[in-house]
Structure 1
Amino acid sequence: MNPVEHPVVAEDGHRFCLRIVEPAASRAHLLFLPALGVPAAKYDAFAAALAGHGIRVAVAEWRGIGSSAWRAGRGIDWGYGTLLGRDLRAARAALGPGAWHYGGHSLGGQFAAMLAALDPEACAGLVLVATGVPHERLYRGAAGLAIAAFARLLPALTRLCGHYPGHRLGFAGREAGGVMRDWARTVRHGVYEDYGTGGSLEDRMRRLAVPVLGLSLAEDWLAPAVTLAALMDKLGPGPHRAMTLDGGRLGVRADHFRWMRRPDGLAQTVADWLLSP
């Protein structure tokens, strides 16, 4: 099943596309948010696999990536507040009314939870894939030291370059400096700020009472199970299910990105949960 690009315009004029895959008959709806620096098109195979189970999937594009009309640079900057209050709000409005689950991979999972907390009535539940709170204290050994050092380097680096040159550093892509500085604060403090949303996101997340499926991957050092647990612990009451998937379940090495190449195993797990009575 091939995706259809649906143009979206945010209130500040930013143009991007939703990639929507329509099954013959929809049994559930999922708005899915990519990982940092990953174009929406990279999730086409995952969306098609879910559509094979009767799930309508819309994958949003991050500002500055893929179909986005803008690119980060000196004087062209944005942060979490812009992504939440403009782009994701516009994407959700473009999908129209009805019950949609929100989901995401890595940073996208964090944003799915924040978006749901801002408008809980519009969210039927959360699907969190290889994601979690990237708090430096949750990582062990060299990984913890590396992520802590990186988070402290980012403010100076992004201001020097006018953006984050991830395409040169091998982590993410060309990103807005504001996005990376917001990410770095989460690494240092383990909390989500209000980002100009008009209230504490942490408080709103604690009041979010929706079903949640959390999937960690057994060989994923970027988002180990402990970080997923920290994210789910921020959420309010509701049926929460957390699972760690290994290579046998996925049919491919269970690391942060490899599942995207062969998504059928993970899609089956998500579909089983979405369609369960």
Structure 2
Amino acid sequence: MSEPHTLDITSTDGHQFQLLHVAPAQPAVAQLLWLPALGVAARHYLPLAHALAKHGCAVSLHEWRGHGSSSLRAQRQHNWGFSQLLHADLPAAVNGLHAAGIHIDTLGGHSLGGQLSCCLAPSLPLLKRLWLVASGSPHWRSFAPPQRYSLPLAYTALPAIAWLRGHLPGKQLGFGGREARGLIADWARVGRYGHYRLPAGVEQQMAGLQLACHGITLAEDWLAPDSSLDALLAKLPACDHQRSTLDAPALGVKADHFAWMRQPTAVADTLLRIFP
């Protein structure tokens, strides 16, 4: 496997990070910008990037603020939320890619990355397709019991812990990483009410998108079940929806929220099998 190329990016507020870019040996048939799950550094998606590159898809891996190559770490004096991710970091990443001659036509993400891909998509006029893996709305009503009844408690408790500590100690709690309290508050607000409000009017813009949209669920993934993906896709009614579910025999690993990242060949093949 070839080493990824790194692109140094600086956001409008001075935040610095790197994108990892994996190019195929032949001219690219697609240019993908991939957004990670909450608390996951970009480098953990290199196996996915290489699997896609074997089929001609160039992949740029975004780095969330506070993780991996990011110059910031969440603490009381360093706080951020969806606004900084969507208004500062992601536009800076897209502009940096354009400056390097990389023009994104495919956008995708895992978990939170899939959700924010949907929010970012209206701002990318050249976009053709949207890929969502183990992603869906966190709205508590989109889950079946018993999760439906426990999630509202989590959406109250986690922001409270983050506010008291100055950040969410996610690794200690078994959810995410070291996360900014504003980010957890924004995520929990969507979980309670089911609506994305950043940027303003984003759900109206999402409703007008006409893209090829492929969602993959994992058969044992309680964090992003089919019903959760249904709720997210309902916000994209004009898109051409395709759905796939992968189980453990298809993946070669447990079909849960994260295990597929270690062995992503089946996910890559499934994304590219339906390729408009």
Tell me if both proteins adopt one fold, taking TM over 0.5 as the criterion.
yes
Deviation of residue 255 (structure 1)?
A: 0.8
Worse-matched range after superposition: 137-146 or 84-93: 137-146
* Deviation of 1:229 (Å): 1.1
Deviation at 1:99, TM superposition (A): 4.5
Q: Is the 1:116–1:122 Cα contact (8 Å) retained in structure 2?
A: no
**Corresponding position of 2:92:** 90
Distance in structure 2 (CA, Å) of the matches to 1:251 and 1:167: 26
Partner of 1:138 in structure 2? 142
How far off its partner does 1:155 sit? 2.8
Residue 31 of structure 2 is aligned to residue 12 of structure 1: no
8 Å CA contact 1:120–1:208 kept in 2: the answer is no
What TM-score, normalized by structure 1, do the two folds share?
0.94
1:102 counterpart residue number: 107
Q: SS state of the match for residue 128, structure 2?
A: strand
* Paired position in structure 1 for 2:127: 123
1:248 aligns with 2:249: yes
Q: Deviations over 1:92-131 (max 9, x none)?
A: 11111634200000000001110002x1413221000000
Give runs of aligned pairs for residues 179-194 of structure 1, distance below 5 A.
Answer: 179-193=183-197
Which residue pairs with 1:231 in the alignment? 232
Q: Quick check: 1:156 aligned with 2:157?
A: no
For residues 24 and 230 of structure 1, what CA distance do their matches in structure 2 show? Answer: 38
TM-score (norm 2): 0.95
**Rounded Cα–Cα distance in structure 2 between residues aligned with 1:155 and 1:269:** 36
Instruction: Give distance in 2, aligned partners of 1:156 and 1:99.
Output: 38
* Correspondence 1:45 to 2:47: yes
Residue equivalent to 1:177: 181
1:269 equivalenced with 2:264 (yes/no): no
Structure 2 counterpart of 1:61, one-letter code: E
Question: In the alignment, residue 124 of structure 1 is paired with which amino acid?
Answer: K
Q: Percent identity?
A: 45
Give the SS at the match of 1:141: coil
Inter-partner Cα distance in structure 1 for 2:153 and 2:177: 19
Q: Give RMSD over aligned pairs.
A: 1.3
AA aligned to 1:221 is W
Stretches of structure 2 lacking an aligned partner (at least 5 in a row)? none
Give the number of equivalent residue pairs: 271
Q: 1:147 aligns to what?
A: 151
Of stretches 170-179 and 248-257 in structure 1, the one that deviates more from structure 2 is 248-257
SS at match of 2:125: helix
Q: CA deviation at 1:243?
A: 1.5
Question: For the residues of structure 1 that align with 2:15 and 2:208, how far apart are their CA atoms?
Answer: 31
Unaligned stretches of 5+ residues in structure 1: none
Deviations along 1:205-230, one digit per CA (max 9) or x if unpaired, are: 11111110011111100000111111
Structure 1 residue 231 displacement after superposition: 0.6
Shift of residue 248 of structure 1?
2.4
- The answer to whether structure 1 residue 114 and structure 2 residue 116 are counterparts is no
Q: Which amino acid aligns with 1:49?
A: A
Q: Give the letter aligned to residue 21 of structure 1.
A: V
Q: State the SS of the aligned residue for 1:216.
A: strand
